[in-house]
Structure 1
Amino acid sequence: MTRGFRKKIRQTNTENSGFGNNASGRFINKDGFPNVQRAGVNVFNRLSWYHTMLNLSTFRFLSYLVISYVVVNLIFALVYYLIGVQHLTGIDKSNPLNEFIDVFFFSSQTFTTVGYGRIAPVGFLASLVATFEAFLGLLTFAIATGLFYGRFSRPRAYLRFSDIAVIAPFRDTSALMFRLAPYKNNALTDAEVIVSGAIEVIEDGVPKSNFYRLDTQLGKINTLALNWTVVHKIDENSPFYGFSEEDFKNIDIEIIVQVRAFDEVFSNTVVQRSSYVTGEIIYGAKFVPMYYPNKDNQSTILDLDKINEHQKADLPVFSEKG
């Protein structure tokens, strides 16, 4: 395929892509976030810590909380130990290890404002540190509570995308297909998909990405209850018209997907993104069904383990016209 052929496509829309023509690498990561690194500002201004904590996986979020809790108490335990265990009543002074263990648990009780009473500070310096630690603990748990609520109450689409896209037979030609499905029991309505394609070309010896709006056979559905196979027909109006298997393997392509739907429970619009690059597009394949009736034929089973299952398919032979 030549650059001149691609320039005939009417759907070129570089001004609305959101990415520059000379951006490098993948545009959208599989987790839906842009593949962009920011420079020129320090790390504190570059990151929104609130958004970062909300977007962490549950395991990493809980791990950070536990590690932070242990580290803070170790620091305060060291401070108390340096002040002197004689300024804390009820300490087991049989050996230094028992002393530090008691000081650590006193710090954790002060930090959480539990205060069992067996160990208490004596003197101005130890009382001052305990007062500051209790104040810091109140602020910390208020922030942690807010983060827990934000993670619990934040509207999400809860969609799972197939890891691959396929070039499959479709009617009298072929089509680019990928599929997605909800994996939780949330109710999504008025689901809409927007698909864009980025194709890298060489112009004057410089690599450049051209962006195209990819029309889909069904761009909006009323209810997203089962899987949704999104189909972009490869015809004369498609930027992939005439692409061979070698083209799909050797040309840098990225399919950028954005799904927007209305969550009835939260009464809010949710958005989720994903993308497919050249190595994730399988030529000459088609998806196999991923839902089927249950045993008594009274309900439908959506098997999310089958979202990537596909089989080989023969494509019609393309012959360029004109």
Structure 2
Amino acid sequence: MERKPRTRRRSIVDIFDLVNSSQQEDFRIVTKSGNTTVKLANNPSSKKFFYPNIFISVVELESAWICLIFLTCFLLSWFTFALLYFVVAEANGDFVPTDGETIPCVEDVHNFLEMFQFSMETQTTIGYGTRYVTDECPTAIILVVIQSILGVLILTAITGVILFKFQSPKRRAHTVLFSKFACVYEEDDVYFIEIQILNMQRSQLIDPKVAALCIMNREDGSGKCRLDMEFNPCHESSRLFFRPKVFRHLIDKSSPFWDFNRKDFLKGDYEIIVVVEGVDEFTDSFVHARTSYLPSEVKWSRHFKQMTAARKGNIFKLNFNDFTRTKRSYDMTDDSASVASRRSSVEKNDDNEIQMSEFVNGDTYQYQ
């Protein structure tokens, strides 16, 4: 009986080969998650920008670095004041055995570890128990006052940083979902680019506004240029974000895509950056979300389907599967918006000439 050859088990080398052989994502200035890939080269010393605005600079750090910074601040302040208390107590002779008549600067402290615990209790205001500062050492009393004020400042700073960190517009931006594709479609001989945006959180966005810009190469080959785009809601504007909204850009003479046909849209060198801004109704905090679309993420002659809603009792449920679905516009050609506009103008002029000719000849046809 012929034995089948044994198959080799997949190893970690195969996984790395799979990752290396995978096709890399096309270069973009703004990633789909909203992060930018632009970095400054040969920039001045970062100290000139970090220290004058140290609070915002700390807020922009990663959460792990923020925890490490404030943990270091607390431990360093406790240790520093414990050392100062220990020096004052040593100078007063608190650690020298006596007959009990000498009053120490800090009561019930016999070594540096207990002094460190006293320093922590002073700064965190969880004391005092058996350890306290007596009135025999004015220097120790002054240190207690200074440490109490410094402790309040450190606690206020860390509270403010954590509050700003959790209320950052980028954190709320993760609950704002953009459509994976942008669609180009025609309606009454007018071209549009449309995207769909969905608020995934129950708290609504009040007065959402969408802005966009296009980054593309100049025609003279001198580099990239930035062109502003205007996106308006497809239906009647609402100050709330109860359901998915479709925003569209009118391709007219002021649009950067006025002369783009189907091939230019699908094979061009451009990037559409979309930004949505609003205010959260619960926290009243500012929300800022963004994404981008490359030519491979633009669909020609398609537009988004409306998400179906099913009522169950007093609740309306939206089918999330409809968020990514599009339908085809069969009447749309492969021409650009400029060509379609000229063709429409010629057809209207021809119709007007026919109507005028029939009117002059006395025909009784009625045109709607």
TM-score (norm 2): 0.55
Residue 162 of structure 1, CA deviation:
1.0
Q: Aligned match of 1:319 in 313, 335, 338?
A: 335
Alignment of 1:177-256 (within 5 A): 177-201=194-218, 203=220, 205-214=221-230, 216=232, 218=234, 221-222=237-238, 223-234=240-251, 238-241=255-258, 242-244=260-262, 247-256=265-274
Q: Cα deviation per residue 1:22-48 (whole Å; 9 max; x = unaligned)?
A: xxx737995488957594465354574
Aligned to 1:135, which of 139, 143, 149? 149
Render the CA deviation track for 1:251-279: whole Å, top value 9, x for unaligned: 03233334456x7778x895635241427
Shift of 1:193: 2.9
**Mapping for residues 283-322 of structure 1, pairs under 5 Å:** 283-284=299-300, 287=304, 290=307, 292-296=309-313, 298-302=314-318, 309-310=324-325, 316-320=332-336, 321=339
Which residue matches 2:68? 67
State the alpha-carbon separation in 2 of the partners of residues 76 and 319 from structure 1: 70
CA RMSD of aligned residues (A): 4.9
Query: How many residue pairs were aligned?
Result: 284
1:108 aligns with 2:111: no
Letter in structure 1 aligned against 2:274: I
Matches of 1:269 and 1:134, distance apart in 2: 32
Q: 1:51 to 1:74 in 2, by over 3 A?
A: closer
Deviations 1:59-117 (Å, cap 9, x if unpaired)? x3xx5664344312322344335846958655686xxxxx64x5554333222222233
Q: Per the alignment, do residues 312 and 185 of structure 1 end up closer, same or farther by CA in structure 2, a change over 3 Å counting?
A: closer
Whole-angstrom distance in 2 between the partners of 1:234 and 1:49: 44
Partner Cα separation in structure 1 for residue 296 and residue 118 of structure 2: 54
Please tell me the residue identity of whatever aligns with 1:139: L
Mapped to 1, the partners of 2:308 and 2:61 lie a distance apart of 31
Cα deviations by residue, 1:175-222 (Å, 9 ceiling, x for unpaired) = 43322233444455544433332322253x421314143454638712
- The residue type equivalent to 2:275 in the other structure is V
AA aligned opposite 2:127: G
Q: Choose between structure 1 and 2 for higher RCO, CA contacts under 8 A separated by at least 6 residues.
A: 1
In the alignment, is the contact (CA less than 8 A) between 1:192 and 1:219 conserved in 2?
Answer: no
Specify every segment of 5 or more residues in structure 1 that has no aligned partner in the other structure, as ranges.
1-24, 94-98
Write the letter of the residue equivalent to 1:140: I
Contact 1:54–1:147, Cα closer than 8 Å, also in 2:
yes
Q: Is the partner of 1:136 in helix, strand or coil? A: helix
On the 8 A contact 1:216/1:230 being kept in 2, the answer is yes
Q: How many angstroms apart in 2 are the aligned matches of 1:197 and 1:219?
A: 24
| Residue identity (%) | 15
Deviations 1:274-308 (A, max 9, x none): 24142773435665655632433x322357x7696
Query: How far apart are 1:137 and its partner, in Å?
Result: 0.4
Q: 2: CA distance between counterparts of 1:131 and 1:306?
A: 62
| 1:138–1:78 Cα change, 3 Å | closer
Taking the TM superposition and a 5 Å limit, the aligned residue runs for 1:89-104 are 90=108, 100=113, 102=114, 104=116
Residues 236 and 142 (structure 1 numbering): CA distance in 2 closer, same or farther, change over 3 Å?
closer
Report SS of the residue matched to 2:176.
strand
